[in-house]
């Protein structure tokens, strides 16, 4: 279901043989798909596989994924005695005692201070078996997060549809006033021109033509038509099954462009007030769109 929000959380768990892998995903809005994967040190080799799996589900957003492993005693580093090294150290110490006449026996404490007598050995888990558990926990977390993003996306969609309906209502108000506004504009221009031309003989037909030409420059019918087209597109995008966040953001820029043109053409107080309302509504829509995938 689209559109989806870029805010979400998911948790997945997979276990086998006493080992438990847990994947946690947190996502927030971002212009592109930005991933950060945290794996236990022995398993960082799987980072690219994890990123590919995430990219197959999400198109945009900052995605933080953290994996943890518990109950895996068999792969924890183990302490081991290096018997060969201990034996050689003992022989060397005995030779030193014999050669230099040192007093006292060789103690265990003496041996423990020597390098490599006791070492920490890394275990080598079967990586493919571990990957099956890692990927299983990841898939559960991705599905969980995706469900949350879809729910949030539906709430955003409802808000955006309500917002664009309010914007459309304001657009219709301006459209309904256009015929009266155009007549008023022509009348005002005629009076102003006549006042400027007092004492000058001018053809009334020519005057009417000039007034009509000047008034036509204040006509915003084209801007209204484009806004209506943008409003229709906005609703269509919200019903699409593709990522539409960038498209909606671009479309709102076009909304603002038309409103600015419209406001500059009509020198009318009520229209100026409606223009401010339209810009305010566009800003609210843009805030919401920033979190759409």
pLDDT in tens, 108-153: 666 666 667 666 555 566 788 889 999 999 999 999 999 999 999 9
pLDDT at res. 9: 97
Q: Architecture of domain 8-74+126-150 in CATH? A: 2-Layer Sandwich (3.30)
Residues 181, 269: Cα–Cα separation, whole Å: 11
Given a contact cutoff of 8 angstroms between Cβ atoms, the answer to whether 167 and 175 are in contact is no
Any idea what the Cα angle at residue 10 is, between residues 9 and 12, rounded to 5°?
Answer: 160
pLDDT at res. 90: 73
Higher-confidence residue of 85 and 138: namely 138
- Could you say which DSSP state residue 292 is in? B
How many CA atoms within 13 Å lie on the side-chain side of 134?
A: 27
pLDDT in tens, 222-259: 889 999 999 999 999 998 888 899 999 999 999 999 99
- Could you say which DSSP state residue 167 is in? H
The residue among 260, 262, 273, 265 whose CA lies nearest residue 185 is 265
Long-range contacts from 43-49, C-beta under 8 angstroms, 24+ separation? 43/67, 43/69, 43/127, 43/130, 43/134, 45/127, 46/127, 46/131, 46/134, 49/131, 49/135
Higher-confidence residue of 237 and 213: namely 237
Q: pTM (2 decimals)?
A: 0.70
Please say if the pLDDT value at position 273 is more than 80: yes
pLDDT at res. 248: 95
Please report, for the chain, the start and end positions of each structural domain, with discontinuous segments joined by +. Answer: 8-74+126-150, 78-121, 153-289
């Amino acid at each position: 279901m689209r559109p989806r929000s870029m805010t979400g959380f998911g948790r997945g768990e997979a276990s086998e043989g006493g080992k438990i892998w847990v994947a946690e995903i947190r996502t927030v809005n971002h212009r592109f798909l930005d991933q950060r994967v945290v794996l236990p040190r022995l398993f960082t080799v799987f980072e690219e596989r994890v990123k590919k799996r995430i990219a197959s589900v999400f198109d945009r957003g900052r995605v933080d994924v953290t994996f943890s492993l518990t109950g895996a005693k068999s792969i924890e580093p183990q302490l081991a005695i290096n018997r060969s090294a201990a034996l050689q150290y003992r022989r060397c110490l005995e030779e030193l005692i014999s050669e230099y006449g040192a007093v006292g026996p060789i103690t265990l404490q003496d041996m423990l201070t020597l390098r490599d007598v006791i070492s920490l050995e890394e275990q080598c888990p079967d990586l493919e078996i571990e990957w099956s558990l890692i990927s299983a926990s990841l898939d559960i977390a991705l599905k969980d997060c995706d469900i949350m993003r879809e729910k949030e996306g539906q709430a955003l969609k409802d808000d955006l549809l309500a917002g664009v309906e309010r914007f459309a209502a304001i657009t219709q108000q301006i459209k309904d006033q256009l015929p009266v506004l155009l007549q008023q504009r022509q009348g005002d221009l005629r009076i102003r021109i006549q006042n400027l031309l007092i004492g000058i003989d001018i053809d009334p037909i020519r005057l009417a033509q000039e007034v009509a030409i000047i008034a036509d420059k204040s006509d915003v019918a084209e801007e209204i038509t484009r806004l209506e087209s943008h409003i229709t597109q906005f609703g269509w995008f919200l019903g699409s099954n593709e990522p539409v966040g960038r498209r909606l953001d671009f479309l709102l820029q076009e909304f603002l462009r038309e409103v600015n043109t419209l406001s500059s053409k009509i020198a009318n107080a009520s229209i100026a007030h409606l223009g401010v309302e339209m810009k305010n509504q566009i800003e609210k829509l843009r805030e919401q769109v920033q979190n759409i995938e």
